[in-house]
């Protein structure tokens, strides 16, 4: 598979009254055509900011370093017009809260067909027929009736399916799914992810899945990248990462998962609180919470290294066992 999206030493900072604040720092990540990659980490780690930067949705006054390349072109160098074209035809984004991103005074039909008619020049009748087919593809029957309904008449699960249908309408090469199941119950989460995965495979699209749920990402993605304090600390194939994690943070996330085989009195947790990139000290950002931290961890940010197919940023990666 050829490379579709590449983040090369990407960093992002925002202005603040006390001075610039770094939110994302030196991220190296590649997504190939047709591949699904999961970006996992606790809230505030920089996952969503990284995804939004791929389509140029950065905060006002933000500064970036490094580069983001999509299909060989630098996204950071695109004009506003070129960015709009990229969002219209090549990259689609599924946001976390569908109610915040669907106009409440427009019908579902208007929401689904507007982009096809205005941006792609599709005939309105053909756009409506395609929208009905897309609703069926994402598990919403009786599409003609649903097209006449308004967002407040649909449940959260149905609205998220509508968001997925909207993302598929332009037949993009890449889908950015930002916590697409967070507000849904467990059963609906499974259904929505199955629909999204099936649609991705049928259309040979790539996907970047943003989530704090390591279990969900492992089930839906080919590779996983774990982010902490604005940096990637571990990247490897999904199955390998769940079987043999290399970074202490990844190990902590995996140990924190509930198990159907055991019923402990208390679930293991990672002590302390997660920090943003601008809050981290000069050493390893995870060191204050790490049970394996030693003096060398405070000497500087550990560089990412390749160890048996894993890219990991930990000075003790070879010593640790899972």
**200's tokens:** 């991705």
Whether 282 maps to a domain, the answer reads yes
Whether 318 maps to a domain, the answer reads no
Q: What is the pTM of this model?
A: 0.92
Which distant-in-sequence residues (6+ apart) come within 8 Å of 295 by Cβ? none
171 Rama sector, left if φ>0, alpha if ψ -120 to 50, beta otherwise: left
Whether 317 maps to a domain, the answer reads no
Contact between 288 and 294 (Cβ < 8 Å): no
Whether 40 maps to a domain, the answer reads yes
Whether 76 maps to a domain, the answer reads yes
CATH number of the structural domain spanning residue 277: 3.40.50.300
Which distant-in-sequence residues (6+ apart) come within 8 Å of 122 by Cβ? 113, 116, 130
Within its chain, how far is the Cα of 307 from the centroid? 25
Whether 322 maps to a domain, the answer reads no
Whether 98 maps to a domain, the answer reads yes
Coil, strand, or helix at residue 25? strand
Contact between 75 and 20 (Cβ < 8 Å): no
Distance between first and last Cα of the chain: 31
Which distant-in-sequence residues (6+ apart) come within 8 Å of 94 by Cβ? 160, 163, 164, 167, 175, 176, 177, 178, 180, 196
Environment class of 148 (CB within 10 Å of its CB; exposed 0-12, middle 13-18, buried 19+): exposed
In total, how many domains does the chain have?
A: 1
Q: What is the span of the domain harbouring residue 62?
A: 3-259+267-312
Whether 321 maps to a domain, the answer reads no
Q: pLDDT truncated to tens, each residue of the chain (322 aa)? A: 689 999 999 999 999 998 899 999 999 999 999 999 999 999 889 999 999 999 999 999 999 999 999 999 999 899 999 999 999 889 999 988 888 888 999 999 999 999 899 888 899 999 999 999 999 988 898 999 999 999 999 988 899 889 989 998 888 999 999 988 876 777 777 888 888 888 888 888 999 999 988 888 999 999 999 999 999 999 999 999 999 999 999 999 998 877 666 676 777 889 999 999 999 988 999 999 999 999 989 888 999 999 988 999 999 999 988 8
């Amino acid at each position: 598979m050829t490379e579709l999206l590449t983040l090369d030493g990407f960093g992002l900072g925002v202005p603040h009254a006390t001075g610039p604040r770094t939110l994302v720092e030196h991220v190296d990540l590649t997504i190939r055509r047709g591949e699904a990659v999961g970006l996992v980490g606790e809230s505030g780690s920089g996952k969503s900011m990284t995804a939004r930067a791929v389509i140029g949705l950065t905060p006002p006054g933000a500064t970036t370093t490094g580069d983001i390349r999509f299909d060989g072109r630098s996204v950071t160098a695109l004009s506003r017009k070129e960015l709009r074209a990229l969002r219209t035809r090549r990259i689609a984004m599924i946001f976390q809260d569908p109610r915040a991103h669907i106009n409440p005074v427009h019908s579902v039909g208007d929401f689904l067909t507007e982009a096809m008619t205005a941006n792609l020049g599709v005939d309105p009748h053909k756009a409506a027929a395609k929208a009905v087919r897309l609703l069926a593809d994402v598990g919403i029957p009786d599409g003609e009736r649903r097209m006449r309904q308004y967002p407040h008449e649909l449940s959260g699960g149905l609205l998220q399916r509508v968001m997925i249908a909207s993302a598929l309408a332009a037949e993009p090469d890449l889908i950015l799914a930002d916590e697409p199941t967070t507000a849904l119950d467990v059963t609906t989460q499974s259904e929505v992810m199955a629909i999204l995965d099936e649609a991705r495979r049928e259309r040979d699209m790539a996907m970047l899945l943003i989530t704090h749920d390591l279990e969900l990402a492992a089930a839906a993605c080919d590779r996983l990248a774990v982010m902490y304090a604005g940096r990637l600390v571990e990247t490897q194939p999904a199955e390998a990462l769940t079987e043999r994690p290399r970074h202490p943070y990844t190990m902590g996330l995996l140990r924190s998962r509930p198990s159907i085989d055991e019923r402990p009195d208390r679930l293991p947790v990672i002590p302390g609180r997660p920090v943003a990139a601008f809050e981290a000290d000069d050493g390893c950002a995870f060191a204050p919470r790490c049970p394996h931290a030693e003096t060398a961890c405070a000497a500087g940010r550990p560089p990412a290294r390749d160890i048996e197919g894993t890219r990991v940023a930990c000075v003790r990666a070879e010593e640790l066992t899972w």
